[in-house]
Structure 1
């Protein structure tokens, strides 16, 4: 939304501008689309729900042939640098339709609060609260308003979390929290996927780091994080970060791309995880010739469709 004010406080073009009066003008982000009772290409149904005063979600249900069938539950966190995009945008809507269809899973795509209007850790808190709300469906006497799709078709023994870029960053931080804090009904996170995770390290590309877009975005979305770029939320490999051995899931799928500027950090993350003493299984995949989150923007490409199939296989191959 354009602002009448001409005084710019922060210019992150081509992403967004923040004006002195506090208004935000976003240049990046795909148009919103409504949910669909039945997507014509995948037969996936979707609907929007309000979970709390702070956040909402879009639910996706695959084509139900058997009313007693229970599906894996995927809690998804969208990309956008914590400050753009939406669970209701066309890019994420078409992506979730395809992924839900391929994985035969029930998905909850969380519409968490965005910075700079609601700076971090707001998004982390919203996504944790959404996961707690989903888990509360197994508690018989909880005060939660129960969602029919989750009650009738959700398999709470197969709960996954997944996300892209900033959403993948959220996945990591939610899984770390789940390693030390219980979910309602003692629900466990079986697995998670981190696609092109937004992790950063001031020691990588340290020259002129303060001029990079990644640094400037982080400063905008989390104005005063303890430790700055060594904050464990953005740099899980910092010296003072908690050990990755406490990651609260048993399976992890991590993917990056050859041209992704965060590729090196993603590889170090997986290496450190495997050496941490974590008892789970992790798989790292690198897509040749592609860039950061290419599959979100070019879902029609063969490599994007192949990646979606790999994600679906990960969700279904829980043995």
Structure 2
């Protein structure tokens, strides 16, 4: 079953070539990693970073809008990412090994920043979701694959003991990435569990600022640490809680795409904020026009005053 959300299509020849390589030539994956042309920098010439997030499926988070299986359609997902990567302002992608390797085999990652996603074990909706195990890339493999950094999700719930295990694991990953000289992109998100067992993201200023301070102190050094945070109402307080470079995450698409853009724009004005990392909100627009969706976000990022970049 394909997604009900319209979007670009991966050509038959490209899709069947990818399937054939997967079945008959596993050796070409290592070669694709080795031959990828790296960008030689994390930030663009404008001093910003614009990445596509594509690590949701590995955590079982597949829903977009009313389509519960939207991101399970791999051919559709890859077509959307490839189309978005063609925009000149898109610097790269954040993904798990399966997605990164498929994009490599499609020839879509030359000259692009590639951040490998590390912990996907806290499955969406699982009772153990806060015990977010590291199940994808590790620091040594990120270095061996010549990727540009590693990303980890750090969801925090003060009433869930599993949070402590995730904090400890993230601290170790930050240290190991620093030893490899690789960016550690930490996504600290405060959560609260409702009486019905569901989790709600706490986007108030106090909880977000507290999460920033916890994430900033992880590991044996913060020299290579970046933070990935949601847009917020008081960016001067939340992003003012750290000197570390930050990026704004897109999160779950809201009912009004224009409102999402305005929200990102407010946070992008803070001098600690260097860019955007957005997934579903850009890859699955209601009208199916991925390139227009990406272009709208790129214009918001371009509008950030150059004086804020040092």
TM-score interval, smaller chain: 0.3 to 0.5
Q: When the two structures are superposed, what TM-score results if normalisation uses the length of structure 1?
A: 0.41
Question: Which structure has the highest strand share of the two?
Answer: 1
Q: When the two structures are superposed, what TM-score results if normalisation uses the length of structure 2?
A: 0.42
